[in-house]
Structure 1
Amino acid sequence: MAYKTESSFVKAFKTKYLQNCHAVRVESGLTERGIPDMQVCYNTINVWIEFKNKIPKLRHEQLVFIHRRAKAHGSVLVVCSKGNDILIWHNPQNATDSGILKDPPDWIISNRSDPHAFTQILKLL
């Protein structure tokens, strides 16, 4: 299902895939630039998530945050809704000058009927 806005995608994603997680949405206007949209904890696994709708494009500050988090052995996932798929990158580092991610996603959730698909990915981190 394609979403009109990032906000509607995040709401649907949280409802479907984060039921067994402690997920906190970060208000971007109240934080420094580059901090991802959500902090998620699942069974001792902590991860930041940056949500994108249709185009996995990151600002420079977001790429810097991801680089610093990865260097400290932390995880940031970029989760992008594209058509009927959810594309997921783990600590992406390569982007074009305009910020679009170059590398293929690490995971694709194609069958949205499985509510445990995302937590199965978290177990791999």
Structure 2
Amino acid sequence: MCLEAVDHFPHVHRREKKSFYVLEGKITFQIDAKRVVATAGTFAYMTVSTTHSSKNKSNQTAKMIISIAPAGLEEMFFEFGVPLPEGSTSALPPTKDETETLLAIAPKYGIEIRVPQHD
């Protein structure tokens, strides 16, 4: 399932701590007001209530391990996630409907998603 819909938007976990370990490529993190471009070997840790987002802004493949504790948030991904087709290595950006579903269910899981407002 694609996690891009969640991690692309700045968001806050009210229950979980979250960590990222970049295996390859570059991931751009926004952590509160700080922007960090992380490369292979970088470990990033978000405490409860830290506003954050992550995105591969390069044209190269990036891989990372994401850990969330305590368990339970995976239920949100099962509720809104869309399985990737067999053999896929990347996902399409989330559709408007997928994003709206996520925004509707996230509060139930203690997630506050801060969608940027465009004028």
TM class, shorter-chain normalised?
under 0.3
State TM-score, norm by structure 2.
0.28
Structure with bigger strand share is 2
Higher relative contact order (CA 8 A, sep 6+): 2
State TM-score, norm by structure 1.
0.27
